[in-house]
Structure 1
Amino acid sequence: MRDILTVILAGGRGSRLEPLTRDRAKPAVPFGGLYRIIDFVLSNCLNSDMRRLLLLTQYKAQSLDRHINLAWRQYFCRELGEFIDVVPPQQRIAGNWYSGTADAVYQNIYAIEREKPEHVVVLAGDHIYKMNYGPMVEFHRKRGADITIGALRVSVEEAKQFGVMQIDPDHRVVGFQEKPDAPIPTPEDPDVCLASMGIYVFSARFLFEALCNDATNMASDHDFGKNVIPGAINSHVVCAYPFMDENRKSDAYWRDVGTIDAYYEASMDLISIDPQLNLYDEHWPVRAFQPNLPPPKFVFGSEGGSTRRGTALDSLVCQGAIVSGGSVSRSILGPGVRVNSYASVEDSILFDDVNVGRRSRLRRVIVDKGVSIPAETEIGFDPAADAARGLKITESGLVVISRGEKIEPSKVAGSVG
């Protein structure tokens, strides 16, 4: 894989994930307590033995840059030609921010050319899945392709949010529509479409030529899905590679957690009895930053007539968390979280260092880092009261508390103990 350079697009704003993306790029959003979204694609690269990575950032990249330094530098040896370089917008070619996926790569074309790759793998940094990119690169080589696109089977309704492909029996792409209103289904199943996963393998020579041509086209959106791929279908070899899932479950797992509700649903899957995403697979490990914190702790029991009991059921509890006489159910507690006596946390996600005060109650709440919930406060039970606090409430009733939010205390009706 020494002739492969991997470019990861990690500058996404993630506006539909606000307020979780108010202070960070979408790939830097925590997921599953310990991880960041970017950790999944980076783990795929490492497990695929792809060790020459350019991470293109743009929007509020400080959190992501810090995470890369803490979690990922150790796995790459510069003396052996391995690297993971975080590349902010250089504006060497144009004075503008990136205007599309193709433009993001084009504006960094000098950094790519300097590495002299034979093939360039372009990945999105904000999707959650497990995949070995090696067989896809080999497929690309054997077909003599100019572009190979990772392909996922989705429902016709879901396909409206993807680039949709039509292929011939030899996996060559003969049609491509970006986010069509009326997606074209596959010939064998009228309810299914073949969608682009935003995973591309390019022959380097073709990529450089295509990017330069696209950059001079004033009518272009400078996007791979809208412009570069449709423009290459009739003149170059464009192939589709079927998604080969390394998650080892009956159904293929690939998620774009682009909205709060989608993010919450994917997170809650992790605490189910048999989660769709297998985080315990030694065959395909997902790496992350491991903070130097003590093990999680559960304080107080029922001895001596005490009504306090520190419990966590059907939950993920990260290191450094303390459940001190409170109860946690169907929730995810990030590192350093503290749940105090008689407090109740249900169906919620608490990021790092959240403190839940005594006798407080949270239900279906996402709390960003470092927020302190005052004692005897209810959130997630009364939408009108939550809205009056200025908190974000999704269509499904989820409450989101952003980083730095100051929560005013409110008496919990019927508190006991």
Structure 2
Amino acid sequence: MSLTFHTSINPKLKPPHIHLKKPPLKKLHSRFSITNSQKPECQFSPFLINQRCISQSVAAVVFGDASHQSRLYPLTKRRSEGAVPVAGNYRLIDAVISNCINSNITKVYALTQFNSTSLNSHLSRAYSGGLLANHEFLEVIAAYQSQEDANWFQGTADALRRCLWVLEQHPAVEYLVLPGYHLYKMDYQKLLDAHRDNKADVTVSVLDETRDYNTDFGSFNVGYGNRVIGFDKEPDLNPVISKFNNETFSGMGIYVINRHVMIKLLKECFPKANDLKNEVIPGAVSLGLKVHAYRFDGYWEDMRSIEAYYKANMESTMKINMKYNFHDRNFPLYTLPRHLPPSLVTDAVITDSTIGDGCILNKCSIRSSVIGPRTKVGDGAVIQDSVIMGSDIYQSVPEQSIGVGEGSFIKKAIIDKNVKIGKNVKIINRDNVVEGDNESEGYIIRSGIIVGLRGAVFPDETIL
């Protein structure tokens, strides 16, 4: 299916309007239709909202990965984007799930596919109990093949369409669709309030600021009353006010979609569409549905590159101007409790750093770095401006231990889990390489940052 959308629409030409007469409480006879010369006729039935349960009327659908071609590779070589560790103890998806919990949205579906083993395990162990109870739940729906469809999920729209039978087991009035690999804090209730106040069919969250790069979620041309009147796959990096007083904003991949609207869009209007951001959402705009924009003016990082991931981790160690506050008591960040012992620090000098649980730090120096759980650092080792993800297990044989050996020096690097760094190793990008592929040797270089692959071994005296 080929779809063409434009960044703006002439306001002198009135778009097709949808007139919905409020139905009586007992019977619902009113129906409305949308007709497009290039699309089949789509009829939408209004779904009656119980005002007393309005705060519980929404279910969140979280996508744990972007695609198999992740820009965070090689951190995503054996895991999905949502499962990538961040700031020591957390995973990227924790930020989004915590947003849901802090926004009193506790009916959450997580749709996973690529390299999903680690993510599925984390979600099921972290959120299966304690935080969520009674009628509250987080349910993981892994990609599957069936007799009706032998393919895996072909995209976000295809995944939603094929999982509708699961979603409808717990009916909701609205679905909040969320990428699970972005770092930000948002009170989703404010987004939902704006959606309901506007009586919108679809609400898209957009960045209320200029971005100097493509967010990968297109740009929306927004007119009077925050009504979306156009879409472009390529965001305008320098949005300006047009002569019709319309503005352009970058999308975030966050959508609120009314239940009956989503079903009709996926099953009848665009039954072959695979992607929400490039097909279904722009299609809803072209059909004349009430698509509104919600402007978000907070910190948001989509981890679109190794450099962005590194920067977000470095910012987590700052005392001031911390972009994302991991220590916010009013909007806490939840994760899996690992029940590890406190970190053991012996004559170590640690400044402006984040230290995970269960670490063993001897006479070492750590500055402006993030140290993940179960990390062992030997005497005389120096770690600066780096991310050490730590280890999944403790090892009893010191000579074969995962961690940083005595006298080693690590600077401006990302070291994935379970890496063995021998004695007197220097990971410093000695030749100032900007981009390099050395996977066979256990590392690559992106934007001048050395990335040690998961489970790599760097023998004694190695210099990178």
Pick the TM interval, shorter chain.
0.7 to 0.9
Shift of the 223–412 alpha-carbon distance from structure 1 to 2, 3 Å rule, reads closer
Provide, for residues 33-54 of structure 1, a one-character-per-residue CA deviation record: whole Å limited to 9, x for no partner.
0110000000000001111111
Q: Name the residue aligned to 2:441.
A: 390
Q: C-alpha displacement at 1:402, in angstroms?
A: 1.1
Q: Name the residue aligned to 1:239.
A: 292
Provide, for residues 277-316 of structure 1, a one-character-per-residue CA deviation record: whole Å limited to 9, x for no partner.
111111100111232122222213xxxxxxxxx1111111
Secondary structure at the aligned position of 1:362 is classed as strand
Q: Name the residue aligned to 1:223.
A: 275
- Please state if 1:82 is matched with 2:129: no
Q: C-alpha displacement at 1:376, in angstroms?
A: 1.3
| Aligned 8 A contact 1:333 1:351 in 2 | yes
- Please state if 1:64 is matched with 2:122: no
Aligned mate of 1:276, from 315, 323, 326: 323
- Please state if 1:253 is matched with 2:299: yes
Tell me which amino acid in the other structure corresponds to 1:202: I
Q: C-alpha displacement at 1:229, in angstroms?
A: 1.5
- Please state if 1:355 is matched with 2:403: yes
| Aligned 8 A contact 2:111 2:143 in 1 | yes
Tell me which amino acid in the other structure corresponds to 1:330: S
- Please state if 1:142 is matched with 2:189: no
Provide, for residues 53-91 of structure 1, a one-character-per-residue CA deviation record: whole Å limited to 9, x for no partner.
11000011111111112221124555x321101101133
Cα distance in 1 between the residues matched to 2:432 and 2:87:
29
- Please state if 1:400 is matched with 2:451: yes
Cα distance in 2 between the residues matched to 1:77 and 1:24:
25
Cα distance in 1 between the residues matched to 2:167 and 2:138:
13
| Aligned 8 A contact 1:164 1:184 in 2 | no
Q: Name the residue aligned to 1:304.
A: none
Shift of the 203–108 alpha-carbon distance from structure 1 to 2, 3 Å rule, reads same
Q: Name the residue aligned to 1:53.
A: 108
Q: C-alpha displacement at 1:162, in angstroms?
A: 3.4
| Aligned 8 A contact 2:306 2:446 in 1 | no
Secondary structure at the aligned position of 1:345 is classed as strand
Q: C-alpha displacement at 1:27, in angstroms?
A: 0.2
Cα distance in 1 between the residues matched to 2:236 and 2:56:
41
Q: Name the residue aligned to 1:249.
A: none
Secondary structure at the aligned position of 1:70 is classed as helix
Q: Name the residue aligned to 1:151.
A: 206
Q: Name the residue aligned to 2:361.
A: 323
Shift of the 171–411 alpha-carbon distance from structure 1 to 2, 3 Å rule, reads closer
Provide, for residues 324-350 of structure 1, a one-character-per-residue CA deviation record: whole Å limited to 9, x for no partner.
011111111111111110111111111
- Please state if 1:334 is matched with 2:372: yes
Cα distance in 1 between the residues matched to 2:338 and 2:390:
11
Q: Name the residue aligned to 1:364.
A: 412
- Please state if 1:2 is matched with 2:56: yes
Shift of the 83–225 alpha-carbon distance from structure 1 to 2, 3 Å rule, reads same
Cα distance in 2 between the residues matched to 1:34 and 1:206:
39
Cα distance in 2 between the residues matched to 1:365 and 1:282:
30
TM-score under structure 2 normalisation? Answer: 0.79
Tell me which amino acid in the other structure corresponds to 1:233: V
What is the percent sequence identity of the aligned residues?
Answer: 31
Cα distance in 2 between the residues matched to 1:169 and 1:181:
19
Cα distance in 2 between the residues matched to 1:156 and 1:412:
38
Q: C-alpha displacement at 1:196, in angstroms?
A: 1.3
Cα distance in 1 between the residues matched to 2:371 and 2:120:
23
Q: Name the residue aligned to 1:248.
A: none
Q: Name the residue aligned to 1:131.
A: 186
Tell me which amino acid in the other structure corresponds to 2:454: R
Which structure 1 residue ranges, 5 or more long, are not aligned? 245-251, 301-309
Q: Name the residue aligned to 1:265.
A: 311
Secondary structure at the aligned position of 2:458 is classed as coil
Tell me which amino acid in the other structure corresponds to 1:370: N
| Aligned 8 A contact 2:215 2:302 in 1 | no
Instruction: Single out whichever of 59-68 and 290-299 deviates more from structure 2.
Output: 290-299
Mark the structure with the bigger radius of gyration.
Answer: 2
Cα distance in 2 between the residues matched to 1:128 and 1:38:
8
Cα distance in 2 between the residues matched to 1:347 and 1:226:
38
Q: Name the residue aligned to 2:422.
A: 374
| Aligned 8 A contact 1:359 1:412 in 2 | no
Residues paired across the two proteins, number: 391
Q: C-alpha displacement at 1:254, in angstroms?
A: 0.4
Q: C-alpha displacement at 1:408, in angstroms?
A: 2.3
Aligned mate of 2:152, from 89, 97, 100: 97
Shift of the 323–109 alpha-carbon distance from structure 1 to 2, 3 Å rule, reads same
TM-score under structure 1 normalisation? Answer: 0.87
Tell me which amino acid in the other structure corresponds to 2:370: I
Q: C-alpha displacement at 1:412, in angstroms?
A: 7.3
Q: CA RMSD in A?
A: 2.4
